[in-house]
Amino acid sequence: MTELAFYAMSLADTSYQFGGTTPVNGFDCSGFVVHVFNRSAGLNLPRTTQEISKSGFALNNEELSLGDLVFYDTQHAPFSHVGIYIGDSKFVHAPKTGSRVKIERMGDKYWASRYNGARRITE
């Protein structure tokens, strides 16, 4: 999953676009994850964050490794946001309208208070 994490990071600064699924047109959070997993690992994930949250298997924080998915409650609904873990308690994601794909610290107050868990996607 190292290649997947590096590819995800290479997309930093790509525009956010609600419903977006490509680097050219921009990404929303699930479109970003679906694109990265398809392009880097040849895996086809479901399109929505809620559906992705049922894929793979759940992890404890101590088990996180490159390429695992981290989920957050950003819309008063569990698993309403997803990002890709890149190590050192950081993740990369497409945050919101008016923003760009970026790297964040999981321990930042905003993210830590909204954390819903993590999942590992396997082939």
**Which residue range is the domain that position 18 belongs to?**
2-120
pLDDT > 70 fraction of the chain, expressed in percent and rounded: 99
Active site residues: 29, 81, 93
Mean per-residue pLDDT, 52-79: 96
Give tens-digit pLDDT for 16-43.
999 999 999 999 999 999 999 999 999 9
CATH number, domain with residue 62: 3.90.1720.10
Give tens-digit pLDDT for 91-114.
999 999 999 999 999 999 999 999
State the pTM of this model: 0.96
Tell me which residue of 82, 38, 90 sits closest to 65, measured CA to CA: 90
Q: Long-range contact list for 71-77, CB < 8 A, 24+ apart?
A: 71/115, 71/116, 71/117, 71/118, 71/119, 72/111, 72/114, 72/115, 72/116, 73/114, 73/116, 74/114
Integer Cα distance of 3 and 25 in angstroms: 23
Domain count across the chain: 1
